[in-house]
Amino acid sequence: HLLPRQQEVEILQSLVLRPEDEWLRHLYAARLVGTGPNPIADAAAAAAPVQESHSQGEAGPGSGPSASSGSRRSVVSPEYPTPMLPPALAANGCALAAQATRHYRSGDYQKCYTVSKRVLEDDPYHLGILPVHIASLVHLEM
């Protein structure tokens, strides 16, 4: 990633895609660098109230009193971007790696470990998942 986060967000928001190709925006949005709010994911959550109620029903580090503060991370489904992708890509290693990274950044190390372990079981050579997988192992003291 050579662009600053804000420029990445602007480029993603400016993409002109057909409605059936909107999943591509979400796949790239899930991989945004940085730990700040993800406006594309937040917009997807606002457009899909089912995801909002799903993520608020879960207890964990991403929910609770701080969830309604400025970052609004808990509005986005913990499974993002998987619900926005075509079924054939839902189990894709890159999509699951983005999901594991999202879990790690929200402090849910157990879910991060579970998802990253699944990626490594499916593809032991998926090197992009190793940083969050190893970091989650350290946090979980495994």
Residue 114 pLDDT grade (very low, low, confident, very high; cuts 50, 70, 90): very high
Amino acid (one-letter) located at 62: G
Alpha-helical regions (H) of the chain? 5-14, 22-29, 39-47, 49-56, 93-105, 109-122, 130-139
Please check the confidence at residue 55 and state whether its pLDDT lies above 80: no
Residue 48 in this model has a pLDDT that exceeds 60: no
* Averaged pLDDT, 10-21: 86
Burial, 118: exposed, middle or buried (Cβ in 10 Å; 0-12, 13-18, 19+)? middle
64 vs 92: CA distance, rounded Å: 30
**What does the mean pLDDT of the chain come to?**
74
